Amino acid sequence: MSSHTQEKKSDAPLLLPLLLLALSGCSGMDVAVSGSINALNGTTVRIPCTFTSCYKMNAARFDMNWTYQESLNDTEETFMTYSNKKGMTPLRSERFGERVMFAGNLDKNDLSFSLSDVQLEDEGVYHCYVRNPPDRIQGHGRIQLNVVTELPPPRDSTIAVAIGASVGGALALLILSMVVVKCLRRHRKQELISEEKMEEEGKLEAEGVAEEGTKQP
């Protein structure tokens, strides 16, 4: 058997997974996050991150890290990572202490974490990095956490409803007034036409009587 034939046979096992992957419509690694999150100072916030991959997660090869930046110009600090033996593991951090906890589900590709007792100093940029070999692309999600001292008051729908009702009532009255005015104008026009017709008939009758009078000897 020639070496050319052997090369074709050795390439076949590699081409089959690629063909199946192409037919499945999978586009590769994709990470979904919330672009911006507002958290109330002193509360607990959940920062979500999920991913999709063309390949099922392999615990022996899977790699994931959460990092923090005060701003996009600062160095990233890793505060949570994935270990094949320990799973998602928070790292020792002077900034977060024990306030960080994994809140996702690896079976559902959920890499979210929760941050308790949120402080003003926690505001910044959080990065979710994930790699799922043999997928060659490293997924990356970026979340801006804004820490506020008070949440904006909920919108009062009562005022909106009252305004809407007032505007709707005014429009209804306007439409009704226009209809009434139009009907009155039409009625008045019909009366004028009737009066003109009666006057015309009266003139014709008078003229007819006059003509008969002139014809008599």
Q: In what order do the strands lie in the sheet with 45-47?
A: 45-47, 113-115, 100-102
The architecture of the domain spanning 28-148 is Sandwich (2.60)
Give yes or no for a cis peptide into 134 (omega within 30° of 0). yes
Mean pLDDT split into 10-residue runs, the chain, 217 residues: 45 43 62 95 97 91 96 94 90 93 95 97 97 92 96 61 60 68 68 67 61 57
Q: Contact 164/156 with Cβ under 8 angstroms?
A: no
When computed from its CA atoms, the radius of gyration of the chain, rounded to whole angstroms, is: 41
pLDDT value at residue 130: 96
For the record, the structure tokens of 137 come out as 């692309």
pLDDT value at residue 162: 52
Domains of the chain: which residue ranges?
28-148, 153-204
pTM over 0.85: no
pLDDT value at residue 91: 93
Q: Contact 142/126 with Cβ under 8 angstroms?
A: yes
| Buried b or exposed e, range 163-180, using 16+ CB within 10 angstroms | eeeeeeeeeeeeeeeeee
Kindly tell me the burial class for residue 60, based on how many C-beta atoms sit within 10 Å of its own C-beta (0-12, 13-18, 19 or more): exposed
